[in-house]
Amino acid sequence: MASLKPPAAYRLPPAAKESAKIAIDRLNLWFGTNHVLKDVSLDIPPNAVTAIMGPSGCGKSTLLRCLNRMNDLVLDTKITGRILIDGRDIFEGDTDVIELRKRVGMVFQKPNPFPKSIYENIAFGPRIHRMGNPDAIQALVEKTLVAANLWNEVKDRLQDNAFSLSGGQQQRLCLARSLSVAPEIILLDEPASALDPASTARLEQLVVELKERYTIVIVTHNMQQAARVSDYCAFLMLGELVECGPTARVFTKPTDKRTEDFLAGKFG
């Protein structure tokens, strides 16, 4: 079956296209013989929230993990195509992957704080990247916790073990931790799937606030969430990019039948 290219109407107009923060160009990925991502091309605009949505197993997380080359950790992976961040292909041979991961932060599906204190969790990143003296790092810890809307809840117990926090708090801690290394892009892999509705709402509000300073890509299987938080939206199915564009348009006037079916809840 021929893959559908995103309709020409989507792609950012030429002038704006140069400022696409991330440009994914004909990306293909295989796990072993399994063709997981099929010819995906997508532009991700800066300072906006782009949601990647689709039914389970369609490759959304895999796509996300390409953006900071976390798929390098999986054996037997083959990738063709390019991903340009700020105009440079991250798959080029001499890319500094460490620096890439500093610039492109990630929050995982299940909160995964380190088995250390709240303070140490956040200080870890800046320390290994040598981002300043202990005073500077202390200020940084406070700033990121404030940005992640967690400061008031933990400011009196920074030395407590991170696991003493609730699920929602742990996830905001992980978000603060990803902010601590001063990224430009933040990737969120179904960040609220392990959280209760109240925590989810808080997290979503945070995401919308953060887009002012960061480029955000969020993967979700929950289309209402995509509708709530995102400015742009891409719909992936079985490894193919079916449709993408401004969220309002995709949700009210989808151009592909499959998108329509997905939004109507017919599957996924």
From 48, 49, 52, 90, residue interacting with other proteins (rule: CB under 8 A): 90
- Tell me the residue length of the chain: 268
For residues 50 and 233, is the Cβ–Cβ distance under 8 A? Answer: yes
Which region, judged by CB under 8 A, interacts with other proteins, from 14-22, 54-62, 223-231, 252-260? 14-22
**Using the rule CB under 8 A, is 82 a contact of other proteins?**
no
Closest distance of CB 236 from other proteins, Å: 21
Closest distance of CB 211 from other proteins, Å: 12
Nearest to 195 by CA among 223, 216, 165: 165
Distance of alpha carbon 30 from alpha carbon 13, whole angstroms: 31
End-to-end CA distance of the chain: 21
H/E element, 120: helix 118-128
Q: How many chain residues are in contact with other proteins, going by CB under 8 A?
A: 55
Nearest to 52 by CA among 263, 244, 264: 244
Distance of alpha carbon 207 from alpha carbon 218, whole angstroms: 9
- Any residues with CB less than 8 A from the CB of 176 and at least 6 apart, and which? 122, 144, 145, 147, 148, 150
From 41, 95, 117, 193, residue interacting with other proteins (rule: CB under 8 A): 95
Q: Which of residues 151-170 bind other proteins (CB under 8 A)?
A: 163
**Using the rule CB under 8 A, is 143 a contact of other proteins?**
yes
**Using the rule CB under 8 A, is 129 a contact of other proteins?**
yes
Helix (H, G, I), strand (E, B) or coil at 237: strand
Closest distance of CB 219 from other proteins, Å: 14
**Using the rule CB under 8 A, is 136 a contact of other proteins?**
no
**Using the rule CB under 8 A, is 96 a contact of other proteins?**
yes
Which region, judged by CB under 8 A, interacts with other proteins, from 111-119, 195-203, 218-226, 245-253? 111-119
Burial class of residue 123 (count of CB atoms within 10 Å of its CB; 0-12, 13-18, 19+): buried
For binding to other proteins (CB under 8 A), which residues are involved?
15-16, 18-19, 46-47, 68, 70, 73, 85-88, 90, 94-103, 105-106, 108, 110, 112-116, 124-125, 128-129, 140, 143-144, 146-147, 163, 174, 177-184, 209, 213-214
